[in-house]
Amino acid sequence: MQVISSSLSPNTEAEDVFEALRVLTNPATWQQGNAISQVEQWFADYLGVGTAVSFDSGRSALRALLQAFEIGDGDEVLLQAFTCVAVPNSVRWAGATPAYVDIDKSFNIDPKDLEKKITKQSKAIIVQHTFGFPAEMDAILAIAKKNKLIVIEDCAHSLGATYLPAGKAGKGKKVGTLGDAAFFSFGRDKVVSSVWGGIATINAKCQMPNAKRKLKEVQNALSYPSSAWIAQQLFHPIAFSVILPTYNLLIGKVMLEAFKRMRLLSVPNPPFLFPRRYPNALAQLLLKQLAKLERYNVTRRGVASYYQKELQNETLDNGAIYLRYAMLIDDPLQMIRQAKRRGVILGNWYHNCIDPTGVDFKSVGYKQGSCPRAEETAAHIVNLPTLITEGEAREVICIVTG
């Protein structure tokens, strides 16, 4: 049986492998080409925003947005604890200071704690829609308006999700269209994947028209990644087409480690990545993935609904996409080890309140004890895969329910 996983390139399908092989044999199209503008136009049309600009990663897109809004030295950027270190690092790389806010029961930024953490230096809020579950945007936007703060939505987990305010009728609004700006990630385990990549968007309603021009200027000042780096990313879906089916037979694990040691595969979260442009080769991969977005999200919602029923959890938010389905348990490490022995790799976003384990809290400006709910959640979180079949979901439930 193929390994069931939320992290080992769960989006990779046969056509993605064939596309990677096709592009790999045509190096003339690796850096520049029409696919880049097609991806940017797709986001502009899908979200109904005026500006969509691509970069090599979500963190680069966030940093570019901060630069476009002239956020830097002396400014504070509010963001939630219970996040990836890439977010505060992007704030720091822009020259600003991250200020951490606790989370609510949806694993998103808590509007009540947000209001308490605002200072005279606060200039922007980064709103993370964790696991594809929209944050409480009405309250957050009201606080931002009152305090004249820029709102940047972190949609790395949430492409395709819609915000449906409680007690209000209507279809809802797509996440990424509610604040002033947003950024998306196309990492190997995100909603859609080109192994690396990201995009920054600025909404038409944004009251800072110069930001749109500056965002494009930031992109234009960057160079494309090297051909060697691009080839490494193109090899990723090809490698995993062999690794995943044989992972539980040990062969796949050996190949994965061998490819890493040979540097044929890149690491998912390097300590520093200088911002670069989004290469045409990866944009070609992404176009295949974007065509499958709705199918992927329908599957995720269906599996999450099954988990909710079997685990007797609270009613699902209909606008969420559930990139992963989160559970809080007493001993997540034991559960993860037990599941791995049975061929299921459960996720651990975020088992450190500024993830991953080993992050120096002092270096990223986090004061331990300042966000107790985030710290408590990180100690007990485990996440279940959602882009899987009904039979695989039953296997996952058998494991987590004992």
User: How far apart, in whole angstroms, are the C-alpha atoms of residue 240 and residue 255?
Assistant: 9
- Which residues have a Cβ under 8 Å from the Cβ of 275 and sit 6 or more positions away? 55, 56, 57, 60, 63, 64, 218, 222
**What pLDDT does residue 1 have?**
65
C-alpha 267 chain-centroid distance: 16
Q: Kindly calculate the radius of gyration of the chain based on its CA atoms and give it in whole angstroms.
A: 20
User: How far apart, in whole angstroms, are the C-alpha atoms of residue 2 and residue 392?
Assistant: 10
| Pairing of the two strands 51-55 and 198-202 | antiparallel
User: How far apart, in whole angstroms, are the C-alpha atoms of residue 346 and residue 54?
Assistant: 31
Say if CB 138 and CB 111 are below 8 A apart: no
**What pLDDT does residue 213 have?**
95
**What pLDDT does residue 207 have?**
78
**What pLDDT does residue 26 have?**
97
In the sheet with 97-101, reading across from the earlier edge strand, the strands are 51-55, 198-202, 181-185, 150-154, 122-128, 76-80, 97-101
User: How far apart, in whole angstroms, are the C-alpha atoms of residue 230 and residue 226?
Assistant: 6
- Three-state DSSP class for residue 364: coil
Q: Which token pair is 287?
A: 């176009």
User: How far apart, in whole angstroms, are the C-alpha atoms of residue 397 and residue 21?
Assistant: 36
C-alpha 1 chain-centroid distance: 28
Sorted by where each starts, the structural domains of the chain and their CATH numbers stand as 14-220 (3.40.640.10), 293-400 (3.90.1150.10)
Tokens 């994965």 identify what position? 256
- pLDDT tens digits, 243-294: 988 988 889 889 999 998 888 888 776 655 689 999 999 999 999 999 999 9
Instruction: Spell out, as residue ranges, where the chain has pLDDT lower than 50.
Output: none
SS3 assignment for 293-321 = HHHHHHHHHHHHHHHHHHHCCCCCCCCCC
**What pLDDT does residue 165 have?**
79
Q: Is 250 exposed, middle or buried (0-12, 13-18, 19+ CB in 10 A)?
A: exposed
pTM, entire model? 0.96
| Pairing of the two strands 324-328 and 51-55 | unpaired
Say if CB 140 and CB 109 are below 8 A apart: yes
Tokens 């045409």 identify what position? 280
**What pLDDT does residue 205 have?**
84
Dihedral pair phi/psi, residue 297, rounded to 5°: -70, -30
**CA angle, 126 then 127 then 133, to 5°:** 155
**What pLDDT does residue 266 have?**
82
